[in-house]
Amino acid sequence: MADKPRLASEIRDWVQTVVIVLGVGAGIWQFEVKEIWTPAAAPINVTTELTVKEAGFRGASSNENKEQFEAIELSIVAKNPSTRDVYLLANCWEAVGLVIATHNESQDWTKTITERLEKTQPSNKGAYYEWQKAHMVAAGEVFLEDQVLHPNESISTTHVFYVPKDVYDVLHVRLVLPTTAIADSAEAVWTVTPDQACKGRAYRKRKGVRGEEIKEFYAAYLDRTLQFQTATSTQELPLWQSKPQPAAATKPLGPKGD
């Protein structure tokens, strides 16, 4: 009879041991899923905010060109709302000056828009206007590459460029910010010419050496060893109201202010 209590005690001890082991295992499993696997599988999604505004005029002087120039201020904010670190690659912003031609109502403008939409080309025509000329006026790097944006972290920068007065009707500004979720896994290279906007190419990197070019961007985004993606923002600034207004004529006040 003494063996039965001993057996019951041993069974109870085994049950307690199994419960403790299962509890520890569940804790480790939850930690790995919550702290390691889930963040590693979470998508990355850098957001960008682009603001373009007029910043003032500089008048001509006797020792300088007779043209008057306007300063344009470009402000850019990039934020990482994801739960993972995001690595910035080489990036580019561009400003294109547009000259708009106005005319009587065009009968075929919707056809032109439809054709351009089918070809994923920019629309440059409306019922009473069309782009007559487009010219690159400024370009540069947005942020330094190899920066890291931690979760919920944001960075910002401001660029100022200059355009001659009364030459362009609209400024079209675009920025392209490629990123990856894996450090030193990709490289972006940019080319800018007077007749061509920022044109970028992306390449894989292995052990710090440039590899094959990335052409299938969606597949590169899904690739867990890369997770490459690009954030793009555009903004247009009309310049028709940018002409400096002459100072209003004022009448000297009399002794009593009348």
Model confidence band, residue 7 (pLDDT cutoffs 50, 70, 90): low
**In angstroms, rounded to a whole number, what is the distance separating the alpha carbons of residues 206 and 101?**
50
70-86 pLDDT, tens digit each: 999 999 999 999 888 99
Least confident of 83-92, 103-112, 195-204: 103-112
Three-point CA angle 188, 170, 200, nearest 5°: 10
Buried residues in 209-240 as b, exposed as e (16+ CB within 10 A): eeeeebeeeeebbebeebbbbbbebebebebe
Least confident of 6-10, 87-91, 156-160: 6-10
What's the mean per-residue pLDDT of the chain?
Answer: 78
**In angstroms, rounded to a whole number, what is the distance separating the alpha carbons of residues 40 and 37?**
5
Please compute the mean of the pLDDT values over residues 28-50 and round it to a whole number: 56
Contact 179, 155 (CB under 8 A): no
More confident residue, 108 or 232: 232
pLDDT of residue 175: 92
Q: Is 130 in a helix, a strand, or coil?
A: strand
Model confidence band, residue 32 (pLDDT cutoffs 50, 70, 90): very low
pTM exceeds 0.75 for this model:
no
Question: Is pLDDT of 5 > 70?
Answer: no
What is the token pair recorded at 124?
Answer: 């440059």
Please compute the mean of the pLDDT values over residues 98-122 and round it to a whole number: 80
Question: Is pLDDT of 41 > 60?
Answer: no
Q: Give the position of tokens 């490289």.
A: 187
More confident residue, 60 or 207: 207
Residue 214 per-residue DSSP state:
P
Please compute the mean of the pLDDT values over residues 203-212 and round it to a whole number: 88
